[in-house]
Amino acid sequence: MLDMKFIRENPQIVKKACELKRMPDCVDEILALDVRVRELKTITQAKTAEKNKITREIPAAVDKAVLIARSKEIGAEIANDLAELAVGEEKLADLLRRVPQIPAADAPVGKDDTENVEVRRVGMPRSFEFTPRAQWDLLEMNGWWRPEKIAGICGTRTYALFGEAAELELAIQTYVMQKLIAKGFTFVNCPSITKPQTIFNAGHFMGADLSVMNNDVFMLTDTDRCLAGTAEIVLNSLHADEVLNEKDLPIKYAGYSPCFRKEAGAAGRDTRGIVRIHQFNKVEQYVFCTPEQSDEMHEHLLNNLCEVMEDLELPYRVIAACTGDMGFNKVKMHDVEAWFPSENTYRELGSCSSIGQFQARRTNTRYRAADGSMQFCATLNNTGIALPRAIVPVIENHQNPDGSVNIPKKLQPLMGGRTKIGGKH
C-alpha cells in the first residue's frame, strides 16, 4: 500500500494512478477521513488529559459531586469519540488497501492487454515440414497422460504426467532451480498452506475484507488456512517485521512450491490440455532490495527467464504490460511469452513485476540505510518456470513427424543423456 503522508502530499499523482490503472478513485474520501481520524485522536487525547486532571482534583475538592459528574460526562464523550475513531480507522485502513501502486513513468499507458507493447522477439518460429501436433495429441499418442481417468479421480482441471513427460517436467524444474542457485539465489522449498492475511500482505487483493479471495483461493474449511497460488505469497513475508541491513541487500530467493488456483475468472478458457489447471508447480524468483536497486533487479529477473527460454530453445517475445493490465500492486511488469505452434501465437510463460515498497509496507519489512535511517524495502518477483505449462511449447516446438520430441541440449544431462523421447520405439 502507499504511505498516507505521500497520499496527503501528492493527491493528484495518486488520482492519476487510479485513472491509469482503471480502478476506483477513493482519494478524496481517504483525505477527508484522514482529517477526521487525526482530529478525533487530538480530541480524545485532550479530553483524556482533562479527565485525568479532574480525577486528580477530586480527592481535595470541596464539591466532589460536580467534578465526578463532569468526569463521567467527559468519559461518555471519550467513549463516543473512540467508537467513531475505531470505525474511522477501520474504514481508512480498508480504503488505503484499495489505492493502487503508482506505475512507473516509462510504463506504457493503455486500458487493457490489447494495448501492451512488444519490446523484442528472440528466435524464429519453426517452419514445419509436417502438420505439427497439439500438446494433447503428443501427450495422448505417447501415453504421457490419462486425462479422463485423472478427472474421474480428482475432478476437472487436474493433471498427471506419465513416463518420459513426467521426467521432462522434473528435468526442467531441476535445471531452472540449479541455474538460479548458480546466480546467487537461495533455494526455498515453500509450503503451499498459508494464512489468508499472508495473501493480502502480498497485495493481490484490494481492500481489507478477506472474503474477496473466495472466488480465487482454495480455503481450507474449518481452519484459518488456505492454499497459496504462488510461492511469492510466502516469500514476501519471510522478513515481515524485520529490520535488514542495507549491506545485505539485495536478498534473492528461488522458491519452489505446488500452487493452487480456482481459476474462477477463467471459465471456458483452456479447458483442454495442461495450460490452465487448478494445481501446478512453479519456481519463483523473489527479491528484497533498496528502491535504488529495483530497476537493476527487474532486468536481472527478466533476463533470467529469457535465458531459460533460450536454454529450452524456444522462440519467445517480451511484452511491456500497459497501466491497465499490469495489476493493482505493480510499478511495472514485463511478460515473457513463448511460441505455441499449435495455436500459431505467443503465450505467457512468466511475468516479471516490480512492486516498489507496496508489499513491504504491508509486511513492515524494512532496512537500516547507510545513513542510519529506516526505510521500507522494495520487492520484485518473476517466474523462474511454471509447470506443466512450460512443457507445452517444449514438446510442440521440438516435435518430430513420428510424435517423438527432441530434448533441448541443456536438459539432456538431466534426462540420462537422451536426445529425444516418445515416438516409435
Catalytic residue numbers?
Answer: 261, 276, 348, 351, 389
Q: Distance between alpha carbon 259 and the CA centroid of its chain, in Å?
A: 12
Q: How far apart are CA 338 and CA 349, in angstroms?
A: 6
Which DSSP category does 351 fall into?
Answer: E
Max distance between CA atoms of the chain, in angstroms, equals 107
Note whether 89 and 37 are within 8 A (CB): yes
Q: How far apart are CA 324 and CA 314, in angstroms?
A: 28
Q: Residue holding cell 526455498? A: 188
Helix residue spans in 317-365 (DSSP H): 358-363
Query: What is the β-pairing status of strands 345-356 and 332-340?
Result: antiparallel
For the chain, helix (H) and strand (E) counts, in that order, are: 12, 15
Which residues lie below 8 Å from residue 409, measured CB to CB, with a gap of 6+?
313
Task: For residue 118, count CB atoms less than 10 angstroms from its CB and return exposed for 0-12, middle for 13-18, buried for 19 or more.
Answer: exposed
Strand partners, 317: 121, 337
Q: Distance between alpha carbon 38 and the CA centroid of its chain, in Å?
A: 33
Q: How far apart are CA 97 and CA 2, in angstroms?
A: 8
Q: Distance between alpha carbon 171 and the CA centroid of its chain, in Å?
A: 25
Element at 244 (helix H, strand E): strand 243-245
